[in-house]
Structure formats: C-alpha cells, structure tokens
C-alpha cells in the first residue's frame, strides 16, 4: 500500500505491506501529527490514517485493529518488526529535492535502523536488510 504523508514541510510517501503496518509507522514517525492518505488502488477513506493532534488515537486503533495504539504498536514490533522497518525505510520525497529543514525521510530511516537493532536478531537484520543477501 502506498501513502502520501501529509505534513507541513516536504511531500513524502510511505509504502507498507498492509494498513496496520502503515498506521503504526505513520503514528510513530509523526507522533500522531501527520495524517496519511492512501494512494492508487487503495485510495479509500477507510484506508487513511487521521491526525491525532488532540488524542483519539486509542479509540481509532481499537476500532481499526482491536487494540489501543500502544498494544497495536507492541504487537507489530514483536511480530512484524521487519515489515515496520521496511515501511519506515520506504519513506521518500515525492519531489526532486528537500526544501525544509525537517528531514522526515532521514528520521524514518533512523527509526527503521532502531527497529531492526532492537527487535530483529543479527541474522534477521542481515537477511532482511534491503540490498543484502
């Protein structure tokens, strides 16, 4: 699934295996400040991640995934860390160059590295890392 990250700086996209991975990645990356809009064949209102500037994330995650944000994030980190790391690594500019001081893509890649380091074994990190065999 491909998403447009809505933020006040540069245009970024994120690609995820499924909606749960995308929702957790978007909320971790923007601390609930960035909504995300599904693109392409998945472009439907129910595939969008809303902003959570004033809370409401637990209700939304409970409705969508049957658990609070924290419980959903823990479930993803414990069982699907590689998919989450890949989603964070997929964050890239939609335009040719960055114009803002906010490096959302750089932050996403740092978060992906942290997820891999903390939740994957050394063997999993080597095997699942983009560009490695």
Average pLDDT over residues 77-94: 95
How does residue 100 score in pLDDT terms, banded at 50, 70 and 90?
confident
Contacts with 91 (C-beta within 8 Å, 6 or more apart), sequence order: 5, 12, 13, 14, 29, 104, 105, 108, 109
pTM, two decimal places: 0.88
Answer whether residue 128 shows pLDDT above 60: no
Three-state SS annotation for 37-106? EECHHHCCHHHCECCCCCCCHHHHHHHHHCCCHHHHHHHHHHHCHHHHHHHHHCCEECCCCCCCCCCHHH
Where are the chain's structural domains? 2-128
pLDDT in tens, 48-85: 999 999 999 999 999 999 999 999 999 999 999 999 99
Per-residue confidence band for 32, with pLDDT thresholds at 50, 70 and 90: very high
Please state the φ and ψ torsions of residue 38, each to the nearest 5 degrees. Answer: -65, 145
Nearest to 30 by CA among 100, 90, 111: 111
d(CA 11, CA 14): 10
104 phi, psi to nearest 5 deg: -60, -40
pLDDT, greater one: 129 or 7:
7
What is the predicted pLDDT for the residue at 133? Answer: 43
Helix, strand, or coil here: 118?
helix
């Amino acid at each position: 699934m491909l998403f447009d990250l809505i933020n006040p700086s540069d245009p970024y996209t994120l690609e995820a295996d499924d909606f749960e991975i995308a929702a957790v990645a978007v909320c971790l990356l923007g601390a609930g400040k960035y909504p995300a809009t599904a693109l392409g064949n998945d472009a439907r209102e129910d595939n969008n991640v809303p902003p959570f500037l004033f809370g409401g994330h637990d209700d939304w995650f409970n409705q969508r995934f049957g658990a609070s944000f924290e419980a959903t994030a823990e479930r993803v980190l414990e069982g699907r860390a590689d998919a989450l790391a890949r989603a964070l690594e997929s964050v890239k500019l939609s335009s040719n160059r960055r114009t803002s001081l906010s490096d959302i893509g750089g932050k996403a890649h740092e978060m992906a590295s942290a997820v891999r380091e903390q939740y994957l074994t050394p063997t999993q990190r080597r095997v699942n890392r983009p560009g490695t065999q």
